[in-house]
Amino acid sequence: MIDQLFVNIKQGGLQLLGGFLPEWAVILVSIMMSIGILAALGPLIMMYLTLMERKVVGRMQNRIGPNRVGKFGLLQPLADGIKMLTKEDIVPVNADKVVHFLAPILIVVPALLAFAVIPFGRNMTAVDLNIGVLFFLAVSSTGTLAIFMASWSSRNKYSLLGGMRAVAQMISYEVPMVMSVVPILVVTGTMSTHAIVEAQGGWGGFRWFLFTPWGFASAIIFFLCGVAETNRSPFDLPEAESEIIAGFHTEYSGMKFALFYMAEFMNTFTICALTATLFLGGWQGPLLPSWLWFFLKTYSLIFVMMWFRGTLPRFRVDQMMGLAWKFLLPFTFVNIGVAGVWYFAPRNTAAVVCTLILAVTFWILTKLNRIYTPEKRVYSFGD
Amino acid sequence: MQFAIYALMVISVVWAVCAVTLRSLFHSALCFTAVLLGIAGIFVVLHAEFLAAVQVLIYVGAVMTLVIFAVMLTERLTDVSVRANNQQIWIGLLGGVAFLTLLIKVILVTPWPKHPDAVAATVMTSENTKHIGIALLSQYVFPFEVLAVVLTAVIIGAVVIAKKDKPA
């Protein structure tokens, strides 16, 4: 009963309205309710993610995060929001006004659109598309365009440099991300997120794809590529505060910067939610309501991302590109073959053979990717 | 339904006209992206969701990124405006309309093949993608393999061009 609480509330409301509204109006209200809930949920999640990040990273750095505004700092995001709203909106004189204005708006759009295909619980997907996963991948690949717009229109060398790095990183990590989802499509035969979660229902709700050899490799690759896509540490070279000021959002202040920040955190949430859906069984689980399981899994993954931020140093740009193209991509190709073997071979031999193939590939790829330091620069006019 | 298709077509044509007449190259690239998104919208209205998603993923996500990289790396940061029209606009328009008429006549007369696999891929069911996959690997396997060879050649060519020369 508590599992379907939100679904029942919505159905009850719609039946109430169906008493005195025509058919098409009820459909319209249903769509508007879904859109309204997602549009409110996105920023709300983002607000409390900023607080969680500051507290968690603060604790890892042996200090307490914000704790003055409200008990345990719970009203800090509201204070941050008010601060962002009241800041002066500075636009550089030479900036391309239209594109400069559009860029922060256009970066929030894909972040919000991706919420539409996430299964928050049993029967709680906003839009159950039969191309759910592909929709998410397509929409998240349009975010690179907004970063280009932001970096180009600022007329700033640091912005341009940061923007180029950001886009190079994002398109490099999109390819292993898409390829690491393919084994799931091979094994389940569908791209709908609802059906993928349903397929992980055995063993009392614990038969997740994470516990298969190809699923384990895919989950790690997808998660790493997701961390790189959202420009979070240790892949946050594009917005490396110590190197290029703030990268592509240097020239944005006030609410526009808040929109960039919001897009980054909403992307974090959707990547973790999608990893939980595809590999950790979505809302499957024995005792608790389905949406509670979903949020537990997603927030554990978000905690892991913040753990990465508090612990690991930043990548150098050539190390980052090398990781994507020379290691993750060949590994994903082998992974797809392994998923095919898993699908056709009987269970026990498949488990042993698949694990063996993946381990050998991992060893070969690490041996082939030697540690590489760039050659020292020769300054012809120095000395 | 018809209204949606016509509206999307009109919007796409407006953006396309903007793409060829704006003075800033970066703005033209952005307008072209809008045209591609409009085409993806037309695919969605025609119940070809897989094609729409793949259009956005590949065209907007990859091809336009490449085009914008090229624009950003070759154009100077200060805005150099390019003259976008000249004296031959009317003759060019005439030639464009003539070509369009020829194309439409040829398209309407061509007998498009109707293999059962390909027809199954156009049916509006939830197994659309599966039928497209089957059609690609059974009826259209030869173009598929030729495309794979072409793409491999492209990747090898790009690597050869981008490689650093060894010091002599």
What residues 327-366 of chain A have any CB closer than 8 A to a CB of chain B? none
Whole-angstrom CA distances from B1 to A127, B4, B41 are 20, 5, 12
Integer Cα distance of A86 and A254 in angstroms = 7
Q: In this predicted structure, what is the pLDDT of residue B164?
A: 74
For chain B, which residues make up each domain, given as ranges? 1-80, 114-168
- Give B-chain residues touching A178 at CB under 8 angstroms: 57
The two structure tokens encoding residue A58: 């603060």
**Alpha-carbon gap: A69 to the closest alpha carbon of chain B (Å):** 42
Closest CA to A139 of B53, B33, B144: B53
The answer to whether A99 contacts B57, with C-beta atoms less than 8 Å apart, is: no
Integer Cα distance of A118 and A261 in angstroms = 21
Q: Does A135 touch chain B (CB under 8 A)?
A: yes
Q: In this predicted structure, what is the pLDDT of residue A1?
A: 77
Q: In this predicted structure, what is the pLDDT of residue B148?
A: 94
- Segments in chain A below pLDDT 70: 239-246, 372-374, 382-383
Q: In this predicted structure, what is the pLDDT of residue A356?
A: 87
Sign of CA dihedral A95, A99, A105, A110: negative
Nearest CA in chain B to A145: B65
Q: In this predicted structure, what is the pLDDT of residue B79?
A: 58
- Give B-chain residues touching A100 at CB under 8 angstroms: none
Q: In this predicted structure, what is the pLDDT of residue B85?
A: 65
The answer to whether B49 contacts A129, with C-beta atoms less than 8 Å apart, is: yes
Nearest CA in chain B to A96: B79
Q: Which fold has domain B1-80?
A: Four Helix Bundle (Hemerythrin (Met), subunit A) (1.20.120)
- Enumerate residues 6+ apart whose C-beta is below 8 A from A120: A283, A291, A294
The ipTM is: 0.85
Percentage above 90 pLDDT, chain B = 40
The single residue listed with the structure tokens 């249903």 is A30
The answer to whether A171 contacts B72, with C-beta atoms less than 8 Å apart, is: no
Beta pairing partners, A125 = A119
Contact, B31 vs B15, CB < 8 A? yes
Whole-angstrom CA distances from A80 to A44, A285, A341 are 13, 36, 52
B49, B77, B79 ranked by CB distance to A131: nearest: B49
B33, B56, B126 ranked by CB distance to A130: nearest: B126
Q: In this predicted structure, what is the pLDDT of residue B121?
A: 64
The answer to whether B56 contacts A174, with C-beta atoms less than 8 Å apart, is: no
Residue count of chain A: 383
Q: In this predicted structure, what is the pLDDT of residue B82?
A: 62
A131, A155, A167 ranked by CB distance to B129: nearest: A131
Q: Does A134 touch chain B (CB under 8 A)?
A: yes
The two structure tokens encoding residue B17: 């006209």
Q: In this predicted structure, what is the pLDDT of residue A43?
A: 87
Q: Tens digits of per-residue pLDDT, B103-144?
A: 999 988 888 777 776 666 666 666 678 888 888 888 889 999
The answer to whether B61 contacts A164, with C-beta atoms less than 8 Å apart, is: no
Residue B165: is its pLDDT beyond 90? no
Residue B153: is its pLDDT beyond 80? yes
DSSP A323: I
Q: What is the DSSP string of A91-143?
A: --TTS-HHHHHHHHHHHHHHHHHGGGG-B-STT-BSS--TTHHHHHHHHHTTH
B61, B69, B77 ranked by CB distance to A141: nearest: B61
Q: In this predicted structure, what is the pLDDT of residue A106?
A: 92
The two structure tokens encoding residue B76: 């100077």
A135, A138, A149 ranked by CB distance to B61: nearest: A138
Chosen from A152, A167, A194 to mutate, greatest number of chain B CBs within 10 A: A152
Q: In this predicted structure, what is the pLDDT of residue A6?
A: 84
The two structure tokens encoding residue B82: 């390019």
Within B22-140, residue ranges assigned H as helices are 25-45, 49-55, 64-74, 89-109, 116-120, 128-138
Within A61-96, residue ranges assigned H as helices are 76-85
**Alpha-carbon gap: B59 to the closest alpha carbon of chain A (Å):** 10
**Alpha-carbon gap: B50 to the closest alpha carbon of chain A (Å):** 7
- Give B-chain residues touching A177 at CB under 8 angstroms: none
Q: Tens digits of per-residue pLDDT, B18-58?
A: 998 888 888 889 999 999 999 999 998 888 888 899 999 99
Q: In this predicted structure, what is the pLDDT of residue B39?
A: 94
The answer to whether B33 contacts A145, with C-beta atoms less than 8 Å apart, is: yes
Nearest CA in chain B to A155: B77
Closest CA to A223 of A356, A328, A367: A328
Q: In this predicted structure, what is the pLDDT of residue B76?
A: 66
Mean pLDDT for B87-107 is: 90
B65, B78, B130 ranked by CB distance to A167: nearest: B65
The answer to whether A164 contacts B69, with C-beta atoms less than 8 Å apart, is: yes
Q: In this predicted structure, what is the pLDDT of residue B86?
A: 74
The answer to whether B54 contacts A134, with C-beta atoms less than 8 Å apart, is: yes
Integer Cα distance of B14 and A366 in angstroms = 52
Q: In this predicted structure, what is the pLDDT of residue A383?
A: 62
The answer to whether A138 contacts B53, with C-beta atoms less than 8 Å apart, is: yes
The answer to whether A141 contacts B57, with C-beta atoms less than 8 Å apart, is: yes
**Alpha-carbon gap: B3 to the closest alpha carbon of chain A (Å):** 18
Nearest CA in chain B to A94: B78
